[in-house]
A and B are shown apart, each in its own frame.
Chain A
Amino acid sequence: MLEWFKNKKGKGPEPPYTNEQWLELLSKPANERAVGELRRLLIRGLKPALHKYVDRELDQFVEDVAQDGLIKILDNLDTFRGESKFMTWAMKIAVREGLTELRRKRWQNISIEDLKGGPEGDESKEIFSETFASADISPEQATAQKMAVEKIEDMIDEILTNRQREAMKAILIHNMPISIVAKQMDTNRNNMYKLLYDARKKLKNELEVQGIDPEKLLDELSE
């Protein structure tokens, strides 16, 4: 990576650059001024955008993210398709770098395993057991709700795989980022999305098979 910066070329057009100029100036050997301009713009954008996510040392964090983003951008120049402004594309890469790091730090001490409750091997029953806290509904409504919830719980237990249940629990119940869950489950974000999509499809189909109208059920549960 250092060779990008070893081959310095200071001369060239003045910013702001067109897409074509960015690509030309950042291609090896990269133009020093263009690299500096890219870093400057990344920092200028990231700092206010990440402000609310970073508790302390925002400047240092943003500098680091900009540097990591810069390297990734330079490494992936050939994937820029020109469908947007270059800086929009570049900022997208840096933003993902920043948020990935923030998510990693925030969730580094929490594993999906920690989210499990109940006895070994029986976590699904524990996880999907119901809690009724409302005292504002009639006994008949409470019974109807209880039955509806049990039906959904049974469905989840019966038709979803363990991985689908684990992923749904982590993401929907514990609000874990999909990227973190994917990493912990040894897959990638895209495959994790597919896993959840398949789970949702299965549940949707099963509701249909059982003649349950999910909208009606939602209304009943909201009463």
Chain B
Amino acid sequence: MKLTIDIIKKMLRVVLATRDDEINCDECYQRIESFAEIKLSGKSAEEAMPLVEDHLQRCKDCREEYEVLLEALQAIKK
């Protein structure tokens, strides 16, 4: 396994995006249902809960869970 420029760039981007007020996965999990409901109501969840949005941008697992949750909730609304 070798480190390519693309991987270095990926690392630099995540390093650059590091901030002091990040929330962790548990905190995101506790708030994600509210975030999803705001989104489903057509309002800006990103603006209402920026720290959750920030976590979702940097954590692939949480992002995936959020996207599946959103799709599942949309399905039961129909």
Residues of A within 8 A of B (CB): 41, 44-50, 53, 83-85, 87-89, 91-92, 94-96, 98-99, 103, 115-117, 126-134, 145, 148-149, 152-153, 156, 168-169, 171-173, 175, 177-179, 189-190, 193-194, 197, 200-201, 203-204, 207, 214-215, 217-218, 221-222
Contact = CB atoms under 8 A, between A and B. Distances in A.
**Pairs A-B, 8 closest by C-beta atoms:** A45-B72, A84-B33, A49-B72, A49-B71, A200-B18, A117-B1, A88-B33, A45-B76
A207 B22 CA distance: 20
Given A92-B69, A178-B59, A179-B61, 16 more contacts: A45-B72, A45-B76, A85-B33, A95-B68, A145-B5, A148-B8, A149-B3, A168-B11, A171-B60, A175-B60, A190-B24, A193-B24, A200-B15, A217-B12, A221-B8, A221-B9
14 contacts: A84-B37, A88-B69, A96-B29, A99-B61, A116-B1, A130-B2, A131-B2, A131-B3, A132-B5, A153-B3, A173-B1, A203-B11, A204-B18, A221-B8
B36 interface: yes
- Residue of B9, B65, B69 contacting most chain A CB atoms (<10 Å): B69
Contacts of B61: 99, 103, 177-179, 189
Does more than half of chain A's interface fall in helix, strand or loop, or is it mixed? helix
A190 B55 CA distance: 12
Interface of B: 1-5, 7-16, 18, 22, 24-26, 29, 32-34, 36-37, 59-61, 64-65, 68-69, 71-73, 75-76
Contacts of A189: 25-26, 61
A208 to B, nearest CB: 11
A32 to B, nearest CB: 20
A92 B3 contact: no
